[in-house]
A and B are shown apart, each in its own frame.
Chain A
C-alpha cells in the first residue's frame, strides 16, 4: 500500500490567501446587518408621528465625508508602501488614515451634540430619531473599531515591528476599512440625500 499517488502537476496549486477570504466573509455578514438598518430607516421615512424631520435638522456632512473617503485612499497607499518595504512611508499614510478617520468621527460627534441639545432629537424622540441614531451609530461603532485597529498597526510600525512580510495582514485590515467607507457612502446617500 502506498501513499495516495502524487502526479506531477501541470500548474502549481495556488489558492487564495486566507486573510482576504476571511475578511470578505465578515464583510458579507456585516453588510447583511447594515442592510437591515438601512431598510428600517427607509421604511420609517415620513412615518414619524411628531418631532423633528430630517429636512429640518440635518446638514450634509461634506467635510466629514471627504475626510473618510480620503482616508480609504490613504489606507490603500499605506498598504502599497508596505508591499515595497517602505515602512516609514507606510506609517505616514497610516497616520493620515487615522487622522482623517478621527476628523470624521469628531464631525459626527459635533453633529449629534447639535441634534440632541439644540434640535431636541434623541433616539427616543420619534421614529426618525430611533432609526437615525441606530444606523449612523452602528456605522460610527465600526469606524471606532477600525480606527483602533489602524492605530495599533501604526504603533507597531513606529516601534519597528512591521516589515514587508506583514503586507498581507495590513491589506486585510485595509479591506475592512474600505468596507466601512463603502457603508458610509450608502448611509450618506440614504440619510442625507434621499431621506431629506
Chain B
C-alpha cells in the first residue's frame, strides 16, 4: 500500500547537506513565513491551544452546574465563562482550525505551489492571533469605570441593549468587539485567498468538476464568509458608535431597536455555523471514500447540495428569533426555509451511506471518527428539525435543548471530523503515522464523554431549564441530569489528553509514513510526506477526479466513467 517513492518520481535532496539551524533561526523562519503549509500548521496549533483553554472554561461551568444552588463561582465569573467559552470556540478554535486545514490542503489538492496571495495569508493569520490575544487580555486589562471590567460577560451573541454603555460599563464588551472584529478581517483575508487560489491556480486539466469535494466545500464556505462576516463587522461598528460616539443604533431610549441587533447578528450567525460545518463535510467526503475503498457516490449531487446549502443558509437566520414576536408571517417563512435546508443536507448523508454500501470498510481511527460523525450529524439534523417547527421552538429555544443541539453539531459533527482529519492528514504533514492504539483510546473515551454530556443535556431543556444560568432551583428536578452531563466532561478531558499525547509522541516517534500511507487518490498523496516547500517537483496534470486512482488502476480509470 505505501510507496517509499512519491508517485511523481521526484525526490527533494537539497536539504540533505545543510547544517542544522539554530532555534532562533527556526523561530524566525516560522514567524516570517508565507508558506501555506507552515501558516496552516500555525493556525492549527493556535486553535488547539484555545481549544484547551475554552475547554477549561466549560469544565468550570459544568462543575458549577453539577448540583443545584452551587457556589463554586460567582454569577459574574460564570457569565464570563459562558461568554468566553462560546466566543473562543467559534472564532478562535473553529475558524482557525478549519482555515488551517484549508490552507495546508487546498494548494496541494489543486496541484499548486502555494496560495494565490502568500503575504496576505501571513497577514490574515497574524491579525487573527492578535484578535485572540486581545480578547484574552481582557482578563487582565479590562478595568473601566466603576472598576467594572474584566472579560466580557454579555454572551457570545452580545444582545443589545445589554451591551450598551449603561448596562455594560467598562471595557469588557469592547474587548469582545475588537477581538472579533480583528479576527473577522483575518477571516475575510483567508477566504479571499482560498477563493482566488481555487479559481486561478488549479493545475492543468483540473476543471471545477474535477476538484476534490473538500475544495468545493471550502469554496462555498468562503463565499458564506464574505456574505456573513460583513454584517457582524457592521453591527460591531454600530455598537462601538453607540458606546463611544453617543450613537443610537441600538439605544431603545432614543427609539432604537434591540431586535435590529438580533437580525444583524443572526444574518451573520447562522451562515457562520454553516461556515464551520461545510469543511467538516469536506473532510468526511475525502476520508469516507478512501476507507470504504470506493469513489464518493453522486459527486455532482454532492456539489449541488453543498451549493444549495450555502444559498439556503442565507435565508434561515430568524429561526433564532422565533420567540421575539415577529408575527405569524415571518415565523412561517423561517420555519419553511429552515425545513427546506434539511433536504440537501439529507441528500449528503444518504450519499455518504451509499458510498459505504458495497465497500470494503476499514475502521482506522480516522474512519471511526467519521462513522460517529454520520450518526451524530443525523441526530443533530433531526433535533434541528424539531427546533425549526416554530411553536415547538417557543418551548425549546433559550433552553438547554438548544445547547445540546448545537453542541451535537459543533462537537458531534465538526469536532469529530476534525479529529478524523488529524488522523488522516497528520502523516502527510509530519511524515509519521499517529498511534492507532492511542487513537482508539481517544475515540472511545471521547465518544462516551460526548454522549454522556450531550445526549442527556437534551433532558433538562425539555424540563424547562433555560440557558446561561449560573445556578438553578432545587425543586425543578434538573439536578440529576446536570450531574450526568457534568460527568461526561471528565471523559472528554481525558480523551483530549490522549489526543495531545498522541500528537506529540507520534511527531517524534511515529512510524515513518511515506507519501501515500492510506492508498488514497487525491494529489496531496503524490508528493513526499511532509511535502517539500515547493510542493511538487513538476506541476501535475489531471484527467479525472481521482488522478492517483487512474495511475494505480489504468485499466479501470475514472476518466472513462466521468462525464
Contacts and interface: CB of A to CB of B under 8 A. Distances in A.
Touching in the complex, A and B, CB below 8 A?
yes
Interface of A: 1-7, 9, 13, 15-18, 21-22, 25-26, 28-37, 40, 43-44, 47-49, 122-124, 126-127, 130-131, 134, 138
B9 interface: yes
B188 A29 contact: yes
Contacts of A30: 230
Contact of B547 (A4, A13, A37): A4
B533 interface: no
Interface of B: 3, 5, 7-10, 116-117, 188, 191-193, 195-196, 199-202, 204-205, 222-223, 225-231, 233-235, 237-238, 241-242, 245-249, 254-257, 260, 264, 267, 526, 537-538, 540-543, 547, 551
A189 B114 CA distance: 43
A190 B245 CA distance: 24
Contacts of A35: 230-231
A22 B197 CA distance: 9
The 9 closest A-B pairs by CB, nearest first: A32-B230, A124-B246, A36-B234, A4-B540, A33-B230, A130-B247, A13-B204, A25-B192, A29-B226
Which of A30, A34, A124: most chain B CB closer than 10 A?
A124
Residue in A31, A35, A127 whose Cβ sees the most chain B Cβ within 10 Å = A127
B249 A40 contact: yes
B230 A130 contact: no
B255 A48 contact: yes
Contacts of B241: 123, 130, 134
Given A1-B5, A4-B542, A37-B234, 9 more contacts: A4-B526, A4-B540, A4-B551, A22-B196, A31-B230, A33-B234, A36-B231, A43-B257, A123-B247
Given A127-B248, A130-B248, A18 B255 contact: no
A29 B230 contact: yes
Contacts of A25: 191-192, 195-196, 222, 226
Contact of B245 (A17, A29, A124): A124
A15 B200 contact: yes
Contact of B538 (A3, A17, A32): A3
Contacts of B195: 21, 25
13 contacts: A3-B8, A5-B543, A6-B541, A13-B204, A16-B200, A18-B201, A21-B116, A29-B188, A32-B229, A33-B231, A36-B230, A40-B249, A47-B255
Given A15-B201, A28-B226, A32-B231, A123 B192 contact: no
A5 B541 contact: yes
Nearest to B189: A26
* B contact face: mostly helix, strand, loop, or mixed: helix
A124 B256 CA distance: 12
Contacts of A37: 234, 238
A40 B226 contact: no
Contact of A17 (B200, B204, B247): B200
Contacts of A122: 246
Nearest to B542: A4
Contacts of A40: 238, 249, 260, 264
Contacts of B205: 7, 9, 13
Contacts of B254: 49, 126-127
Nearest to B207: A13
A48 B237 CA distance: 20
Given A29-B226, A29-B230, A131-B249, A4 B199 contact: no
A34 B233 CA distance: 10
Nearest to A19: B196
A165 to B, nearest CB: 18
Contacts of A28: 223, 226-227
Tell me which of B199, B222, B246, B538 has the highest count of chain A C-beta atoms within 10 A of its own C-beta.
Answer: B199
A21 B120 CA distance: 14
A124 B247 CA distance: 5
Given A124-B248, A127-B248, A1 B199 contact: no
> Which residue of A21, A29, A47, A123 has the most chain B CB atoms within 10 A of its CB atom?
A29
A150 B242 CA distance: 33
Most buried by A among B202, B228, B248, B547: B248
Contacts of B547: 4
Contacts of B10: 3
Given A15-B202, A36-B231, A36-B264, A127 B256 contact: yes
B248 A1 contact: no
Contacts of A15: 199-202
Nearest to B538: A3
A47 B542 CA distance: 60
B248 A126 contact: yes
Contacts of B223: 28
Contacts of B191: 25, 29
